[in-house]
Amino acid sequence: MDRQQAEALASIELKKNETKKIQEAEIAEKAKVINGQVQAQVSIALQKEKIANETQAMKREEEDAKVQLKTQEEEAKNDLKRAEETHKGEHNAALEASANTTAVDLDARIAKYKAIEAEWHGKAAVAGSKAVAAKRDEEDQKIMLQKANEEIKDQINAESGLKTAIRGQEEAKKQQDKQVTEATRNLEWMMRNESQQLATAQQVAAAKMRQEQELETAEKMNTTSAEMSQKQEDKGSLEVRAKEAEQNVKTASSESSVNAAKAIHEEIIKKQQEEQATKETAQQLQSSQTAQSQQSAEQYAQLLAESQAKMGNGNVNLTNASASQIALAELTHRLLRQPSSTFVPQSASISTAVGPSNVSQMMGVGQSNNTMLTGAQPANQTQQMSVGAGMRNITAQMHLPFAY
């Protein structure tokens, strides 16, 4: 145990020595660094002092140079002043001598120059007036030139506007021709389509007319039936009264009872005559209704034949159409476009049954089987119409090619 402790203590001591050596080495290194820094600071201070001394020496030299320069400038100014005074004296003496020797020539020259000056003044006045006139002419020419340029510009603008207007008119004419062509095509197509719709409209109108006539006849027949019923009741009442009167005559043959029985008998005869007239009226109404139904069927057949004749084979051409034909087409177009109970958007059925006549019509007119002015017309359109009236049955089928 002591041995282990001794080894441990020795190991600890060894580590302490190593740590101490490391610390001493670090301290020595730090001391070296500090010494280097101190030496650098001392060197910097010496350099600063040297620079300051050199700067002061340069300032002194600069001041000395300035003083010398100033002295040299003053000396130069004095030399220049003395030279100018010397030159001025020499020049004045020369001028005085020249003036004394050339005074006569100078007077002559002055006179000559004055004459020349007067001449030049005259010429200058003439030249001035000419210059004014020339300037005025120049301004007039500038104004005329400006007006000419403006007229040329106006003419160019007018020509350009005229060309633009001509192009606009040509373009408008092309557009108008195009619209006329398109409108003609649309109207031709519309005529083809509306010719078929015209037949349908005529059929509907005929059916509606028949329906109104039959309803009116039915009302009359109902009224007649009610009158007959009332008269039957009145007749029954009269018969009862007649029997009572007859019984009264048998039991009491007084003159008043006989007269009352005669009056009742006459009233019964009158009622029988009225009943017979009412029956005849009902028979006439029934016959009239049958005749009207027959006539309506014949009118429908005639309208259908006229429509088919107008439509032909479906190829309607308005190029050589008369004004009345075009007006008829436009009127038909407007009538077919007006809202009416006759035209149902998808489909409609009209059925009437009054008396012995029976009229039935099925229609398919609307957006489901009509395309108008869209530029994409169907290749064909088929519509079937059937009307039965009494013993007549008319069926027409139309097949119209719409392609062109």
DSSP state of 394: E
pLDDT at 344: 36
β-pairing verdict for 357-363 and 380-389: antiparallel
Tell me the C-alpha distance between 211 and 309, whole Å: 26
Tell me the C-alpha distance between 148 and 231, whole Å: 111
3-class DSSP assignment, residue 379: coil
Closest among 388, 216, 383 to 296, alpha carbons compared: 388
Tell me the C-alpha distance between 283 and 208, whole Å: 24
Angle ∠(252,253,257) on CA atoms, nearest 5 = 85
Partners of 400 in the β-ladder: 381
* Count of CB atoms situated within 10 Å of the CB of 14: 10
Closest among 269, 299, 116, 273 to 205, alpha carbons compared: 299
pLDDT at 400: 36
Please, what's the largest Cα pairwise distance for the chain?
A: 203
Mean pLDDT of each 10-residue bin along the chain, 404 residues long: 71 81 82 77 80 82 81 80 74 66 69 76 75 82 82 78 79 82 79 70 71 74 69 65 61 56 70 74 68 59 55 44 52 48 36 36 36 36 37 36 34
> What is the chain's alpha carbon radius of gyration, rounded to the nearest angstrom?
70
Strands (E), 322-364: 348-354, 357-363
* Count of CB atoms situated within 10 Å of the CB of 377: 19
pLDDT at 387: 38
Tokens of 394: 């008319």
pLDDT at 284: 73
Length of the chain: 404
Map out the domains of the chain as residue ranges. 174-401
Tokens of 23: 């610390």
Give the right CATH number for 174-401 from 1.10.760, 1.20.1050, 1.10.3470, 1.10.287: 1.20.1050
Sign of CA dihedral 55, 60, 62, 63: positive
Tell me the C-alpha distance between 83 and 102, whole Å: 28
Cβ contact 376:402 at 8 Å: no
Tell me the C-alpha distance between 385 and 363, whole Å: 7
CA 234, distance to chain mean position in Å, is 79
Tell me the C-alpha distance between 200 and 208, whole Å: 12
Cβ contact 384:295 at 8 Å: no
Closest among 392, 352, 350 to 213, alpha carbons compared: 352
Cβ contact 365:343 at 8 Å: yes
pLDDT at 21: 84
pLDDT at 327: 53
Tell me the C-alpha distance between 268 and 274, whole Å: 10
pLDDT at 240: 67
